[in-house]
Structure 1
């Protein structure tokens, strides 16, 4: 859940300043669908990345839930919402206000309307203080969206962790009571593992806050250690790839690089299939390591895998980083950052003191291809990262010198490189860019060295 830019919109709906205010200002014509159907369809549309279609449905559901509440509670003080009554309604399978508020807020986040989303998340937590109906999600969102960051983020994360720990305790008791119901036990265990994984992620997020916003605090390192230790302990092994990355990041900050390498290799082992030896590659007709399938829960999301490659490069596991990056650019060949990291990674490989001259030259050529793609996409997408651009150009200039010295520049004297600021925009923005990794990058054979590192050949 990354921070989302707020979209300025003077006509933006003002959602629920108090529990007695209408949930939406306008009163659109009611559909014939039930509230349950409206919420289900809105959730499905959000899942399908169609938040603009989901919002009207979610708002109508909120309006109708609010109308029902006002009719039901007409004899009570309007600002009071009885959580026990909501729990009873939920037990009867009827929709309730807090989950609808959370869904509406998630849709607003997807649309970039952060302020009303934050208000709805906050209201949901005020109504359902223990998370009985909404779980930990609103607090996790608020931790990400809060403008103050630092201590305020930690406060939200701690509330989310408390909710998750309570849920885990209940689920563990339920599993222990299901010894004679294997099917029910398996389903409950899956939910339990998901909750444990979410708790571990929240603990890791807190550790990252202490490594960044709160790094100046005297006990920041000790708190990081406590948080990542609990995260590793609580997270199921099959779902712990991201947790182990955070552990590695902490170890790097402590300059405990061997332990960081171990943690990163353990992380990769969870979701990245073992890299075959050259003999196995020939026998199987494959040469690359293969990631887990896209729907495999063990596989971290795209952004987490990009972060993984940076960590691998930081601890001098460039070959592993390159193998992951090749998979990432196959998945999204428009990622400026991935092309940049791949080029930089190849430069680092070429700079190793014991690298063979042939391998060095090959890595430099490949780095040129990756960085050229990076800068082209940077210009076309109007990408906004001056440091990345400047470093990419610095690497390019170094490659120009190296390749010219080896007689590897283009015969016509045009090395194909220009500073991105000096390039003519032309019609690039209207062209489809066909980017491919060269065969000598994708088709490498890989083998493991005696210490477990991957050696590309």
Structure 2
């Protein structure tokens, strides 16, 4: 690489490669920039950002800490990245500093769009802090009060953020306040359920999968189906999607107040969905082994009550497919 490059020349090249997700190339430009200006806080931060994308977490942490040492009160994003790389109280401290800097920056803004965007980031950081107290720091004496404090702050900053209310539902569930948890989820869903796919108000796919789990815990089955239908339209090649469909149908079939015919129908639907989840898992895999194991257990339970279809029926289907495939052109289309 030419030694004639300046850091000013390299910064747009770094950003262009980040935008195109060419992270190894972006890192090479970052390293060259650091050779030229090893104490440039901006370059140290962006290097850490690229290293996170490349799973170089130790290196990213070192670069971010050095950027913070050089400019501790300028730029909130390095604290957000450091929070992602940290645990427990250290992570909370990083996010807290980021919130302070974002709040100060927000006070200087005039553009409503920029204010909305920064408000969303502040709420996101507060949610991250809440999640830490719900998990890693749940046994700390201040855990419950901090969850309340952070979520109240998040609602004030970004009152139309569905993630805030979804997390509030998790907190209320941990407090055994199920009615309040249900109300929080209803509020969360009202903010996006009628939006078109791709709308900025709609939570990401994984967040909506997590929402379904909360809805099932609260026996909000119709709402769960509404979310699952939207997820299916968006991407139907997801193991978790069909597992949750199957789990929802299973829960409906487990309701003793329903007629025997209704229960059987729900469990047949559950089995279809769970078997599809297992087939997808065998094809594309999943990190959640426990989920797939549970799917197998549910299928086995259903089979004891609702025997699977006779093999003869499957053979008829195979013969029909074989008959259609005799035509070479049609086979090519399939």
Normalising by the residue count of structure 1, what TM-score does the alignment of the two structures yield?
0.64
Residue of structure 2 equivalent to 1:155: 93
CA distance in 1, matches of 2:54, 2:123: 28
CA distance in 2, matches of 1:410, 1:303: 33
Equivalent residues in 2 for 1:245-264, closer than 5 Å: 245-264=166-185
Equivalent of residue 116 in structure 2, options 193, 196, 211 = 193
Residue 51 (1) aligns with residue 23 (2)? yes
Q: Contact conserved, 1:193 with 1:236, CA < 8 A, in 2?
A: no
Equivalent of residue 187 in structure 2, options 251, 266, 281 = 266
- Greater RCO structure (CA 8 Å; 6+ sep): 1
CA distance in 2, matches of 1:215, 1:117: 27
Residue 322 (1) aligns with residue 225 (2)? yes
Residue of structure 1 equivalent to 2:50: 107
CA distance in 2, matches of 1:36, 1:363: 63
Change beyond 3 A, Cα 1:136–1:249: same
Residue 396 (1) aligns with residue 293 (2)? no
Q: Contact conserved, 1:400 with 1:415, CA < 8 A, in 2?
A: no
Equivalent residues in 2 for 1:136-215, closer than 5 Å: 136-146=76-86, 149-171=87-109, 175=110, 188-215=111-138
Residue of structure 2 equivalent to 1:242: 163
Deviation for aligned residue 1:415: 9.3
Q: Contact conserved, 1:344 with 1:367, CA < 8 A, in 2?
A: yes
Residue of structure 2 equivalent to 1:98: 41
Equivalent residues in 2 for 1:42-441, closer than 5 Å: 42-66=14-38, 97-131=40-74, 135-146=75-86, 149-171=87-109, 175=110, 188-237=111-160, 240-273=161-194, 291-294=195-198, 296-356=199-259, 359-404=262-307, 409-412=308-311
Deviation for aligned residue 1:43: 2.5
Deviation for aligned residue 1:348: 0.9
Deviation for aligned residue 1:402: 2.3
Change beyond 3 A, Cα 1:381–1:50: same
Q: Contact conserved, 2:197 with 2:234, CA < 8 A, in 1?
A: no
CA distance in 2, matches of 1:41, 1:114: 23
Q: Deviations over 1:12-36 (max 9, x none)?
A: xxxxxxxxxxxxxxxx43476x644
Runs of 4+ in 1 over 6 A off after TM superposition: 413-416
CA distance in 2, matches of 1:331, 1:227: 32
CA distance in 1, matches of 2:202, 2:236: 19
The DSSP-based 3-state class of the residue aligned with 2:107 is helix
Q: Contact conserved, 1:142 with 1:153, CA < 8 A, in 2?
A: yes
Deviation for aligned residue 1:332: 3.2
CA distance in 1, matches of 2:235, 2:88: 33
CA distance in 2, matches of 1:31, 1:258: 65
RMSD: 2.4
CA distance in 1, matches of 2:76, 2:258: 50
Q: Unmatched 5+ residue regions in structure 1?
A: 1-27, 67-80, 82-96, 176-187, 274-290, 417-457
CA distance in 1, matches of 2:143, 2:294: 31
Q: Contact conserved, 1:161 with 1:202, CA < 8 A, in 2?
A: yes
Q: Unmatched 5+ residue regions in structure 2?
A: 316-334
Q: Which has the higher helix share?
A: 2
